[in-house]
């Protein structure tokens, strides 16, 4: 396996993601890192994001619409995706019982993880609709 070598670009990407809790897209990461390293390329951003995902330092959030998003919080939590403004919001909650254990009873393979996404209208968009 290839040994990781230090890269200032990668550090900047990690730091940026750590500073945000709104799950930026690759493009948002790119625009922000450009302010520090004007020559960084979008390819480098994508390469580092998928590298960080593969070593478990960040999480990739794939939604039904629009580009993937990235999250530096790797502890278990869920996401809510607004059907109106498409923002992705953390939901901190206990899951009653062990979903994976329940699923395993009905499934022939090996279950290693799971993701739950909630959908609906976020707080802001709820207000907009009421107007």
Partner DNA sequence: TTCGTTGCAAATGTTTTGCACCTGA
Partner DNA sequence: TCAGGTGCAAAACATTTGCAACGAA
| Site residues, DNA (CB under 7 A) | 2-10, 25-27, 37, 39-44, 46-48, 50-51, 66-68
Distance CA 100, CA 113 (A): 7
Give, in degrees to the nearest 5, the angle at Cα 56 between 50 and 61.
60
How distant, in Å, are the alpha carbons of 35, 49, 116, 128 from that of 74? 26, 14, 14, 32
Partner touching 112 among DNA, a second copy, none, CB below 5 to 8 Å by kind? a second copy
What does 37 bind: a second copy, DNA, none (CB cut-off 5 to 8 Å by kind)?
DNA
Residue 130 interacting entry, from DNA, a second copy, none, C-beta within 5 to 8 Å by type: none
Contact 43, 11 (CB under 8 A): no
Closest CB 67 distance from DNA, rounded Å:
3
Judged by beta carbon, residue 36 or residue 91, the one nearer a second copy is 91
Residue 38 as a binder of a second copy (CB under 8 A): the answer is no
């Amino acid at each position: 396996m290839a040994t990781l070598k230090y890269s200032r670009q990668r550090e900047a990407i990690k730091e940026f993601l750590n500073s945000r809790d709104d799950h930026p897209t690759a493009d948002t990461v790119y625009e922000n890192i450009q302010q520090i390293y004007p020559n960084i390329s979008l390819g480098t951003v994508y390469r580092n994001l998928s590298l960080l995902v593969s070593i478990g330092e960040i999480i990739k959030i794939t939604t039904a619409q629009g580009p993937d998003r990235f999250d530096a919080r790797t502890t278990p939590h869920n996401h809510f995706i607004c059907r109106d403004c498409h923002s992705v919001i953390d939901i901190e909650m206990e899951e009653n019982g062990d979903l994976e254990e329940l699923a395993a009873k009905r499934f022939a393979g090996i279950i290693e993880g799971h993701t739950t996404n909630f959908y609906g209208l976020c707080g802001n968009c709820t207000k907009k609709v009421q107007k």
